[in-house]
Amino acid sequence: METDQDKNVVKTGYLKEEFRLFHLKDKINLNYEFHYHEFNKIVIFLSGDVTYLIEGKPYKLQPWDILLVSCNEVHRPVINPNVEYDRVVIWTNEHFLDKHSNEEFDLSACFKEAERLQKNLIRMEPAQIRETELLLDRLENAAKSGRPESHILRNALFIQLLVHINVLFSETRYDPEEDANTDSVVQSVVSYINRNIKKDLSIDSIASNLYVSKYYLMHKFKERTGYTIYNYILQKRVLMANALIKKGMPIMQASYECGFKDYSCFVRAFKKIYGTSPKMHFRQLKSENEPFEDKHYE
């Protein structure tokens, strides 16, 4: 059964550009809800008192930590409003990453692997921080410049930063499993669901495969992720189908590929998330530009 809290796990922000950079410093009392985006996000944490929850896993941030949040990963920051929060946030779409990748190097690899491994945080050594700071300063200056060459320069610098982050990710991933507040049961559930998203999934079968009480499972999962297990599965399937349809797969085929056994169930689930039918949604995307929403620079 869907609850009010489940309805709060919403899509936020729209990105019609290839990427967008924000450098924000503020001290506000704002309680972010669980949400997701349809683009990839990089958060470079500079200062503050912030814990980020990504798919139920908490990351207590330290200065110059880098967070990689893949499109459709459910997340929210928990921010101490009494401490100034300084961060750089970059949004980028899949098209930009694909366009500038090649067979030897995939710019989106860091996002894909972060999601697959459930390890979204990079914690750097001092020398790596200095290199990152230099690249970021150059990118910020190019983004602010109004010179004729600034657009080309900022794209080149962002690609350079992405290469740098991919290399960092392969070398210096931070594993928060040592943290006392990491719930291994919830992480096991997320991994199990994502591995078996196309199969028949029930709470009983998940609990049985993980050798844990289903009632404990339901309580801890909702507490950590903001979802009931049922709604998490439903949301993931719809988001996966949405991505396949965007790549050209027929709507009905995409629904079956993502675990829906009945097309009408898929349409109802899609309407619940996007507010309209799949056919109408994609027709609107082709004919309209979605507005840019600037409320979630977390």
Give residue-wise pLDDT tens across range 149-189: 888 999 999 999 999 999 999 987 666 555 545 577 888 88
Is there a domain that residue 156 lies in? Answer: yes
* Average pLDDT score over residue span 259-269: 91
- pLDDT tens track for 39-53: 999 999 999 999 998
For the entire predicted model, the pTM comes to: 0.75
Is there a domain that residue 293 lies in? Answer: no
Into how many domains does the chain fold? 2
- The C-alpha atoms of residue 112 and residue 123 are separated, in whole angstroms, by 18
Let me know whether 20 and 156 are in one domain: yes
Let me know whether 105 and 44 are in one domain: yes
Let me know whether 138 and 93 are in one domain: yes
Is there a domain that residue 98 lies in? Answer: yes
pLDDT band at 5 (very low <50, low <70, confident <90, very high): very low
Q: What pLDDT does 11 receive? A: 52
Higher pLDDT, 79 or 296: 79
Q: How do beta strands 66-69 and 50-54 pair?
A: unpaired
Let me know whether 34 and 80 are in one domain: yes
- pLDDT tens track for 75-121: 889 999 999 999 999 999 889 999 999 989 999 999 999 998 889 99
Q: What pLDDT does 163 receive? A: 97
Q: What pLDDT does 4 receive? A: 40
CA 228 to chain centre: 19
Mark which of 122, 157, 178 sits at the end of a domain.
Answer: 178
Percent of the chain with pLDDT over 70: 87
Let me know whether 78 and 202 are in one domain: no
Is there a domain that residue 297 lies in? Answer: no
Q: What pLDDT does 296 receive? A: 53
Q: What pLDDT does 98 receive? A: 93
CATH number of 37's domain: 2.60.120.280
| Structural domain range at position 132 | 4-178
Let me know whether 29 and 139 are in one domain: yes
